[in-house]
């Protein structure tokens, strides 16, 4: 069987490759727009493809509860349901379930919890999570892992990691569709000893790719970067590497420089809905709602060719936000996704031609004194 991940070029540790799924091949490094409830907020699938997106992420927890995986299968599967023609990655639902503090009970078998929709009692197991994802017909499914908080002690992390490994084996064994890709997830917080154990355990299993979980969950950025300085190297070089829920453009180039291939985060669309827009300049973002832009006739970013920058002024988009017109957040979200996806294309090109260090230096300098909230999850 041909390997799913194909390495095409390297520049330092940065990798340029591609990954094959039954819904098609996507190029790496890549960024996945987040379609929590089978929709990237305010952006239709035709526009997503136009922007350069190749993979979309959907949220297992939300789609399992509503409309239900069996209904999605009945209407033709997740691609037909959403209209998205490319690969779709689904999370396991674990992050959302473990976020329901006080509403869940963890056992070896899985997690019992109360639905946030109607309070009904639900149960999610490794086998159940894979079944939901497989029934929906996604391209890539994530193994169910335990998602510990960033502030627990070493012993608690160690116990959690052992559970994640046992669940990983069960998740992989639950797959019955050979064309479904399944990714394993490493945990261990910011403890190098536990990350090393996690990589040895998870990588001993025949997953199609490996994800780094448990970062961007409240830890200081320098600690996340410390983990990235060694942990991607602990994952197999011939498999794709996915950093979950990260992050800013600075975080992305940092992770790429350490050998990470795939990313997702709600930051582009969530920021856009609140008026924060990213630009290819210094400073790298601003808030379009600020009154200083009320009479600014220029585009959000003169270097951008998205629909917002081609057709509308900062003054107009500022007006849309001020009067509560939904077009404002839509245009800002489209622009931000364009910014992220353009950055990924530039990263791929720079790895191919050996100039990635120069691009890395520009992005790092641009973000040198800035910080954005890093707790954005894969759901919004």
**What positions carry a catalytic annotation?**
91, 264
Rounded Cα distance between 286 and 261, Å, is 28
DSSP bridge pairs for 89: 57, 140
How many other CB atoms are there within 10 angstroms of residue 178's CB atom?
8
Three-state DSSP class for residue 33:
coil
140 contacts 89 by C-beta, under 8 angstroms: yes
DSSP 144: P
Rounded Cα distance between 277 and 331, Å, is 10
Rounded Cα distance between 324 and 81, Å, is 30
33 contacts 54 by C-beta, under 8 angstroms: no
Cis peptide upstream of residue 297 (ω within 30 degrees of 0): no
How many other CB atoms are there within 10 angstroms of residue 46's CB atom?
11
Three-state DSSP class for residue 364:
helix
Report in angstroms the alpha-carbon separations of 362 from 25, 97, 234, 250, 302. 30, 39, 28, 10, 18
């Amino acid at each position: 069987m041909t390997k799913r991940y194909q390495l095409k070029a390297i520049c330092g540790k940065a990798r340029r490759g591609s990954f094959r799924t039954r819904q098609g091949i996507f190029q790496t490094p890549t960024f996945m727009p987040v379609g929590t409830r089978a929709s990237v907020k305010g952006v239709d699938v035709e526009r997503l493809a136009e922007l350069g997106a190749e993979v979309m992420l959907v949220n297992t927890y939300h789609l399992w509860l509503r409309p239900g995986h069996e209904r999605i299968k009945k209407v033709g599967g997740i691609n037909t349901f959403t209209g998205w023609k490319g690969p779709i990655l689904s999370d396991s639902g674990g992050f959302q379930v473990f976020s329901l503090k006080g509403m869940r009970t963890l056992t070896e078998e899985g997690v019992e919890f109360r639905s946030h929709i109607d309070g009904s009692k639900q149960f999610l197991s490794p086998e159940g999570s894979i079944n939901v994802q497989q029934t929906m017909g996604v391209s890539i499914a994530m193994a169910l892992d335990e998602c510990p908080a960033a502030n627990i002690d070493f012993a608690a992390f160690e116990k959690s990691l052992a559970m994640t490994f046992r669940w990983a084996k069960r998740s992989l064994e639950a797959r019955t569709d050979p064309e479904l890709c399944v990714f394993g997830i490493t945990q261990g917080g910011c403890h190098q000893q536990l990350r090393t154990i996690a990589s040895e355990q998870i990588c001993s299993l025949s997953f199609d790719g490996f994800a780094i979980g448990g970062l961007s969950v409240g830890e200081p950025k320098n600690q996340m970067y410390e983990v990235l300085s060694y942990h991607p190297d602990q994952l197999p070089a011939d498999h794709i590497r996915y950093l979950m829920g990260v992050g800013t453009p600075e975080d992305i180039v940092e992770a790429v420089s350490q050998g990470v291939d795939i990313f997702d985060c709600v930051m582009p669309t969530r920021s856009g809905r609140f008026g924060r827009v990213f630009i290819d300049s210094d400073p790298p973002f601003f808030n379009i709602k600020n009154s200083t832009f009320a009479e600014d006739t220029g585009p959000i970013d003169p270097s951008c060719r998205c629909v917002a920058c081609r057709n509308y002024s900062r003054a107009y988009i500022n007006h849309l936000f001020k009067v509560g017109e939904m077009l404002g957040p839509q245009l800002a979200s489209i622009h931000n996704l364009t910014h992220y996806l353009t950055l990924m294309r530039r990263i791929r090109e720079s790895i191919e031609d050996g100039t990635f260090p120069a691009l890395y230096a520009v992005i790092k300098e641009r973000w040198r004194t800035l910080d954005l909230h890093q707790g954005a999850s894969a759901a919004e």
